[in-house]
Amino acid sequence: MKNIEDINREAVKKILSKKKIPEFFAGDTLKVGVRISEGKRERIQYFEGVCIAKKNRDINSSFTVRKISFGEGVERTFPLYSPILGSIKVVRSGKVKKAKLYYLKDRKGKSARISEKIKKKIGIDISEQTVEKENTEPTLASETKIETQQKKDNLTEEKKIKPKTEKQKEELKTKKK
């Protein structure tokens, strides 16, 4: 006999195979497309706001989005795997320390702002390096990226080594050339 959890997991896998749900957390600004049926017609209405809570409970997972509309705070809780959700798009990632941001309900204006999480890209993309090895001639875009990376490396080396004497300054100049 199947357990209820097993049935729920199978249902989640089936839903995820049909539509893609991005990874998001509390503090992220989301643009949620909601299907609305008006008589015979069906349209998508977007609800954009800050995700203040997310519950991960298999098929019962949900998230709450809060926005300010005409000076009033509006919150809406969406079931994550619901068929009424047309799309979910992460507009910007927020940098927060809590999982539930209910304290934003009391705040207005600048105190309700959330700083943005900046994702850093380090080095050169691996796919670009494999392309260079396959082709005998490297592309112009990859050459400029490699040159800029080498210049950055040289600048960081210069900052690390601070010459104290004139002799050390001369040695650095000869290394650069």
Using DSSP bridges, classify how beta strands 41-55 and 29-38 pair: parallel, antiparallel or unpaired.
antiparallel
> Over the stretch 102-116, which tens digit does the pLDDT of each residue have?
999 998 889 988 999
Q: At 10, is the pLDDT very low, low, confident or very high (cuts 50, 70, 90)? A: very high
- Confidence at residue 133, expressed as pLDDT on a 0 to 100 scale: 47
For the chain, the C-alpha Rg in angstroms (whole number) is 26
Instruction: Determine the Cα–Cα distance for residues 168 and 157; give it in Å rounded to an integer.
Output: 14
Centre a 10 Å sphere on the Cβ of residue 49 and count the other Cβ atoms it contains: 20
The residue among 111, 139, 109 whose CA lies nearest residue 127 is 139
**pLDDT, mean of residues 16-44:** 94
- Confidence at residue 44, expressed as pLDDT on a 0 to 100 scale: 96
4-112: which CATH topology?
SH3 type barrels. (2.30.30)
The ranges assigned to domains in the chain are 4-112, 126-176
65 class by beta-carbon count within 10 Å (0-12 exposed, 13-18 middle, 19+ buried): buried
> Over the stretch 93-103, which tens digit does the pLDDT of each residue have?
999 999 999 99
pTM metric for this prediction: 0.64
> Over the stretch 126-159, which tens digit does the pLDDT of each residue have?
555 444 445 555 555 556 666 776 766 666 555 5
**Helix, strand, coil proportions of the chain in percent (round to 5)?**
40, 30, 35
